[in-house]
A and B are shown apart, each in its own frame.
Chain A
Amino acid sequence: MKKLIYISGIVSANLMLLGSIFKVQHWPGANILLTLSVFMFCFMFLPFALLSSYKNSSPRKYKSLYIVTYIVFAVVFVGALFKVMHWSGSQYFLIIGVPLPFVLFLPVYLIQTRKEKNYSIVNFMGIMFGMAFVAVFSVLLALNVSWNIMKNYENQFNYNQNLVSNIYTEKANDDNNKNVMQKSKELCAFIESLKNQMLKITENKPENILNVEVNQMESTIPSIVLYNDDKKGNLDELKNKISVFKQSVIASDNASDELKDLSKLLFETETSVISERNGGEIITWENKEFIDFKLIIVLDALTRLESNVKFVENQLISMK
């Protein structure tokens, strides 16, 4: 029986490890492993180990502590499982599960062991540091959102890419808009070259960018490409080309007032926004568009920019 408890403890921890590795690497079968691990821990190892430990203690005391320990950690792990598996109801588990160790387990533990004369401070420190670790990492988790949100980028990326290529013009009026078209061509070619440079360094083909998860959050390569090692080379050139394009649209005789206003709104790269949320921090155009210089975000923002340029250009040449 004791051997079985020892083994079940090791097995459930190892299943959890395998499940996590599978989950992080996006291999199939991760969910089965994680579910199995949590069920083994909550319904085999934890109850029997606590029972055995309780029965073995010579004067049988702290009965309520054992019961509370079981309830708290079973709820926490089942709740975490719900969260990882995206099962409905995970929110309620989360609301109960995150504070439960600190409002139920810890007070009961401290009150029960309060009168123990020979109680070693090492055990106390172990419990307290373990609980502090759990608390700090739960806080860190609150900073993040599920990786699933990256999948949402796929649609957005495709939409913008589609806008770049899906152009429809009835009776294009090319001759009068040569200047704007020239500027648009230059700008789009520059954006494409930036995108290609980033993808070349990450050794990815454009169509693969949404499948390779490791590189999506890469932030050094986009900043190298945009800043040329802190010299702001390409970023300045990009902003310069954008404003040249904007000016050419505004100066064009063919553009309607609405289109001029639109291009003013879409290609505003110089003014910075003052964020009220972060205590009046000034956010420049590049920091707003290329948040943290993450590869996926930079590529998406560049594609959106390209689609905007094409849209404005197309609006202009289809005007009479």
Chain B
Amino acid sequence: MYSLDKEQVEIITADVQLAGITFSHLPDDLVDHICCEVEILINEGKDFENAYKIVRKQVGIDVLQKIQENTKFLIDKNYRLMKTTMKISGNISLAMLGFGTICKIMHWPGAGILLAFGFLVLCLMFLPMVLYANYKNETKKQNLFLHITALIGCITFMAGVLFKIMHWPGSALLLMVGYLSLLLLFLPTLLFVKLKSAQTKKLKSIYILGIVSLIIFAFSNMFKMFHWPGASVLMIVGAVLLIGLFLPLYTWQMFKMEGKITGQYIYIVTISMFLILFTSLLAINVSKNIVVGFVNQANNTEVINNYLEKKNVKLLSEIENKRDTLELKSKAISIKKNSDELCDYINNVQMELVVSVDNLDKANAKRVIADPMCIMAKDNWDKVNMLMIGLDGNGKAKELKQKLIQYKSNLTSNFKENTEFSKYLDNLINVTDKQNGQFTVSWEESHFYLCSIIRAISTLKELQSGVRMAESAALVNLNNL
């Protein structure tokens, strides 16, 4: 079998170059192809000159240029289209997540749809495309495992977050798989790849430090999310390694190598600030489910209040029927009137709270107070602060306290000799300030400062309950006189 010598190949290469073929590795491919054609003809018995002439008739300069154009059009168009879609889908999905978060926090409608679509676009469009583009772009295509672990880890983790938000079952499993594949497969592989490319020993140790501390830090996040013990220890160790040790070392290395501020450095500092901020914010937050405990308390107290109200009406009518002493009757009626007034007042405070937090009208507010699970922004505390404490400390709580003290003194004036009753009453409606070390915390502050609306509602219901219990005990006392 004949094969072309170096000079003959050079002639063909020169011709191809003359045709203006420059795109990527297309000239090499074309030269290879022409050489093969020529060799076939030579094997059939022709000499090089004639064989090359025949081939050039078939594949002229204009044909070569056409091939180049077609290739460019095909490859570049797909590539550019993909890149544009990738950028747009990435940006839109992240913006959806941002707006979804705000809707979720502010209890606006549409949060679920925005978040679900955001996660879907991010996981099923953006992530696969960006990793494919990166993989294609790399000169050495040997990091397939790195890309696959990144893809699987990111998708399962994000699906876990989505499931958790939407309260779908299986979020814990997804989050666990996502975390583990990112932390135990992706990050070690990344370290391995980085170590291969590192030139100096010092750079190698910096990479090891960075990735190991990142793994520890991320594990603390995972422990926190699953409420496993030891999260705070891991967080402190990981964060100190990452921020206290890795960041200065890395900075020093950058400073020596570059000598100027690069975008990369600004990026790394900003991202580490975000990392600590989010981790600490997550650490000082608790799951939203916890507010249901306050709802249970409010419902329970409401049931008891309804019972007491009925019982007291019955007691009053009993006194009215049995006794003919006018004094006793009027005492009982005034006790009932006082408690009714106070309970109505407390009801109004509840209405005002719900109206200001959820922007409801009166009819809806009434419904919501009867069923506190319906309050949208259950964890809102700043509106409660404004209404109950106020800027100058003269909010509703102060007025309420005065009314409670007034009510108590009115009640006890009826039973001056009964010390046991007044002791019971003092315990039942206790509005004294608390001594906390050297500071005195007022009753208003200890009950309504930084208090979520749901707890404020249940506190107010408890107060109503206290009033009704006191009324009940007083009426029973009167009845037994």
**Which chain A residues have a beta carbon within 8 Å of chain B's beta carbons?**
2-3, 5-6, 9-10, 12-14, 16-17, 19-21, 23-25, 41, 45-46, 49-50, 52-53, 56, 73, 77, 80, 83-84, 86, 88, 91, 94-95, 98-103, 106-107, 110, 114, 121-128, 130-153, 155-156, 159-160, 162, 166, 168, 170-171, 214, 217-219, 256, 258-259, 261-262, 265-266, 278, 288-289, 291-292, 294, 296-297, 300-301, 304, 308, 311, 315, 318
Quick check: A148 and B265 within 8 Å, CB to CB?
A: no
Q: Which B-chain residue is minimally distant from A276 (CB atoms)?
A: B373
Quick check: A6 and B98 within 8 Å, CB to CB?
A: no
Cα distance A137–B94 when bound, in Å? 12
* B376-390 CB contacts (< 8 Å) to partner A: 379, 381-382
Whether, in the assembled complex, B289 has its beta carbon less than 8 Å from a beta carbon of chain A, the answer is yes
Instruction: Say whether, besides A50-B266, A145-B379, A301-B293, A170 and B473 are in contact (CB < 8 Å).
Output: yes
Quick check: A17 and B239 within 8 Å, CB to CB?
A: yes
Chain B positions within 8 Å of A141 at CB level: 101, 278, 281-282, 285
Chain A interface main SS type: helix
Instruction: Say whether, besides A143-B165, A152-B455, A2 and B261 are in contact (CB < 8 Å).
Output: yes
Q: Which A-chain residue is minimally distant from B88 (CB atoms)?
A: A110
Chain B interface main SS type: helix
Quick check: B280 and A53 within 8 Å, CB to CB?
A: no
Please list 22 pairs of residues, one from A and one from B, whose beta carbons are closer than 8 Å in the complex, sorted by A's number: A2-B260, A6-B261, A10-B248, A13-B276, A16-B243, A17-B276, A20-B279, A53-B266, A84-B280, A86-B382, A94-B105, A98-B101, A102-B94, A121-B137, A125-B134, A128-B90, A132-B94, A141-B282, A170-B476, A259-B307, A266-B300, A266-B303
Q: Please tell me the size bucket of the interface on B.
A: 35 or more
Quick check: A291 and B293 within 8 Å, CB to CB?
A: yes
Chain A positions within 8 Å of B232 at CB level: 24-25, 214
* B262-305 CB contacts (< 8 Å) to partner A: 262-267, 269-294, 296-297, 300, 303-304
**Which chain B residues have a beta carbon within 8 Å of chain A's beta carbons?**
87, 90-91, 94-95, 97-102, 104-106, 115, 118, 122, 126, 130, 133-134, 137, 157-158, 161, 164-165, 167, 227, 232, 235-236, 239-240, 243-244, 247-248, 251, 254-255, 259-267, 269-294, 296-297, 300, 303-304, 307, 310-311, 314, 379, 381-382, 420-421, 424, 427-428, 430, 446-447, 450-452, 455, 458-459, 462, 473, 476-477, 480
Q: Distance in Å from the Cβ of B474 to the closest Cβ of chain A? A: 10
Quick check: B134 and A80 within 8 Å, CB to CB?
A: no
Chain A positions within 8 Å of B421 at CB level: 168
Instruction: Say whether, besides A49-B266, A145-B379, A258-B310, A152 and B276 are in contact (CB < 8 Å).
Output: no
- Picked from B98, B263, B284, B314, the residue with its CB within 8 Å of the CB of A138 is B98
Chain B positions within 8 Å of A135 at CB level: 94, 97-98, 101, 118
Instruction: Say whether, besides A21-B239, A110-B91, A99 and B102 are in contact (CB < 8 Å).
Output: yes
Instruction: Say whether, besides A52-B261, A95-B106, A142 and B291 are in contact (CB < 8 Å).
Output: no
Cα distance A124–B307 when bound, in Å? 66
Cα distance A100–B101 when bound, in Å? 12
Instruction: Say whether, besides A17-B240, A144-B286, A219-B227, A139 and B102 are in contact (CB < 8 Å).
Output: no
Cα distance A107–B95 when bound, in Å? 10
Q: Distance in Å from the Cβ of B374 to the closest Cβ of chain A? A: 10
Chain A positions within 8 Å of B248 at CB level: 10
Cα distance A2–B227 when bound, in Å? 43
Given A73-B270, A135-B97, A259-B307, 11 other A-B residues pairs in contact with their CB atoms under 8 A = A20-B280, A84-B280, A88-B382, A101-B98, A102-B98, A106-B90, A149-B290, A162-B427, A166-B428, A218-B227, A288-B292
